[in-house]
């Protein structure tokens, strides 16, 4: 599930907002 989790901590903070929206649609980032 964390196969796409290769972003840097700083970039992840930005991406996490987009990913959080993704987890609603995809549901593959439910751990975050």
For residue 29, the tally of other CB atoms under 10 A from its CB is 18
Q: Which pLDDT value is given to residue 11?
A: 73
Evaluate if residue 22 carries a pLDDT over 70. Answer: no
pTM listed for this prediction: 0.21
Residue with tokens 């993704």: 22
Evaluate if residue 9 carries a pLDDT over 60. Answer: yes
The Cα–Cα gap between 15 and 9 comes to 10
Torsion (CA) 12, 13, 17, 18 in degrees, nearest 10: -30
Average pLDDT over residues 13-32: 63
One-letter-per-residue 3-state SS of 12-25:
HHHHHHHHHHHHHH
In angstroms, what is the C-alpha Rg of the chain?
9
């Amino acid at each position: 599930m964390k196969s796409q989790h290769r972003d840097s901590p700083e970039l992840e903070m930005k991406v996490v907002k987009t990913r959080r929206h993704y987890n609603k649609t995809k549901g593959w980032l439910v751990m975050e």
